[in-house]
Amino acid sequence: MTSKYTRFDKPARAENLFLQGARVIDPRRGIDQIMNLHVRNGVLQGITSEAPAGSDVIDLRGHWITPGWFDLHVHLREPGKEVAETIATGCMAAMNGGFTGIACMPNTDPPLDDAATVKWVRSQGKPFPVEVHVIAAATRGRQGKELVEMTEIVEEGVRAFSDDGGPIKSSAVLRHAVEYSNMLGARIFEHAEDVYLAEGGSMNEGEWSTRLGVTGMPTIAEAIDVARCVLISEYTGGAVHICHVSAKESVELIRNAKQKGLRVTGEVCPHHLLLTDESCKTFDTNFKMNPPLRSESDRQACWEAFLDGTLDVYCTDHAPHSWEDKTQEFDIAPFGIVGLETALGLALTFFMEKGMGLHTLLERVVYAPREILTQPLPCIGEGEAANLTIIDPTCRWTVSPDDFKSLSRNTPFAGWELTGKSRGVIHRGFAVIQTF
């Protein structure tokens, strides 16, 4: 095994790579078998049993190779908060977590609300095997008043607009954003929150907020906005994607909307599937996020929706914050946790036992996010660009934030024992593969 492929900051070219003996899984092509893959200049070659001359042979027996994973909801802090994350370190965290594509949210400082900024952000991912997609701001400066120049931004490849970090407060502006983006084949991603109902809150409203004396954010603060999005989607025919769904009521609204055939999609994050608001009881700010960790019944509802496809996408809401910002009083510290480097391990450790098959998981993390952004889907076959995630499904490891490639360490999963780890990614002619 060559150590050429281990550098995250300067990924090697996938010039002549022979990946030997892995279980290759491509659900949409009906492939699930042990085979060798030969990648030449980033392109998959025909099946060969012998390693071609001069190729870098990598023994992947016991490993899985799937189409590249995609994280639809990521916050890179550049420009503005480079101390917490840069586009480059975000890409490295994505590679370390097994993602070949990410979509970053526009709530930087300044926000990503024009074509030039979008173009610049996309270009920063060029040296990496990670496509950086941008979800541009829906309104200028994320102020919720005037629409951004959507046509020009769509010409830069953007397919989604959002004021994430917060909702679009005005229903009139939300309606126009949905109508206008729909005309361009794009959609609105809504951070669903009624800001008046959630005002001043730091965690879910319920038994635990009462016990802890922390101001709560009720589930209906989220669900009321989901209802608004569903109604606007129905009225305008436009597509709306609900970000980081956490509440039982939201799930029911999205399920009903889908049954009516509306163009409403939703995503769920690992923390909302695996944790509840009881985790806040030590006032550890690594459990403070927005939307907050909810009650057990909300968690169960998210699971059902994730299994039955009501929630289409598995994403992380990767939200890096510096140690200084997180090491404050619970009500003062910012919302958000990092997620890129734990999402795959958490999925492989916990999702199968919940009844989610690997193929379904790949639907939620490989295909659905790209379909929502109307991007070509990766597939494993001769002549196709190699867009692959390499997984060691039996690797047992302990989440140790110090090992993250992200600049930030704010994870609630520190110390968790996981089974299953990404070993590398191949995409855009680059390859990064960890030695083992």
The residues that touch another protein, with contacts defined as CB under 8 A, are 205-214, 216, 218, 282-283, 324, 327-332
Give all strands of the β-sheet with 187-190 in edge-to-edge order.
Answer: 160-161, 187-190, 240-242, 264-268, 313-314
Write down the catalytic residue from 114, 194, 312, 317: 317
Which are the contacts of 22, defined by CB distance < 8 A and separation ≥ 6?
34, 35, 37, 60, 61, 63, 64, 65, 390
For residues 184-213, which are near Zn ion according to CB under 5 A?
191
Pick what 72 binds: another protein, Zn ion, none; C-beta below 5 to 8 Å, kind-dependent.
none
CB of 243 to Zn ion, least distance (A): 5
C-beta closer to Zn ion: residue 38 or 191: 191
Rounded least distance, CB 142 to Zn ion, Å:
12
CB closer to another protein, 215 vs 256: 215
In the complex, the smallest distance separating the C-beta of residue 191 from Zn ion, rounded to whole angstroms, is 4
Residues 6+ positions from 13 with CB-CB distance below 8 Å: 41, 42, 429, 430, 431
Residue nearest to Zn ion (CB): 191
Minimum CB distance to another protein, residue 204 (Å) = 10
Among 164, 190, 225, 392, binds Zn ion (CB under 5 A): 164
Where do we find the tokens 């929150």?
Answer: 193
Residue 206 binding partner per list another protein, Zn ion, none, with a CB distance cut-off of 5 to 8 Å that depends on partner kind: another protein
CA dihedral 161, 163, 167, 169 (to 10 degrees): -90
**Which lies closer to another protein via its Cβ, residue 285 or residue 387?**
285
CB 208, min distance to Zn ion, A: 21
- Compare residues 124 and 300 and give the one whose CB is closer to another protein: 300
The residues facing 74 across adjacent strands are 104, 318
Q: How many CB atoms lie within 10 A of CB 243?
A: 26
Nearest to 243 by CA among 310, 141, 313, 178: 313
Q: How many residues bind Zn ion (CB under 5 A)?
A: 2
* Residue 254 near residue 230, CB atoms below 8 Å: yes
By beta-carbon proximity to another protein, the closer residue of 203 and 407 is 203
Shortest Å, Cβ 330 to another protein: 5
Q: Closer CB to Zn ion, residue 290 or residue 389?
A: 290
Beta bridge partners of 419: 396
Annotation marks residue 317 as catalytic: yes
Among Zn ion, another protein, none, partner that 330 touches (CB below 5 to 8 angstroms by kind): another protein
C-alpha span between 345 and 270 (Å, rounded) = 10
User: What sign does the dihedral 91-97-99-103 (CA atoms) show?
Assistant: negative
Taking CB within 5 to 8 Å according to partner kind, which of Zn ion, another protein, none is near residue 191?
Zn ion
Distance of alpha carbon 429 from alpha carbon 431, whole angstroms: 7
Q: Where are the alpha helices (DSSP H) in 46-157?
A: 87-97, 115-124, 150-155
Residue 141 per-residue DSSP state: G
The listed partner (Zn ion, another protein, none) that binds 186, CB under 5 to 8 Å by sort, is none
Strand extents, DSSP E, 105-150: 131-134
Instruction: Pick one of Zn ion, another protein, none as the site partner of residue 211 (Cβ within 5 to 8 A by kind).
Output: another protein
Provide the binding-site residues for Zn ion, judged by CB under 5 A. 164, 191
Could you list the active site residues?
Answer: 317
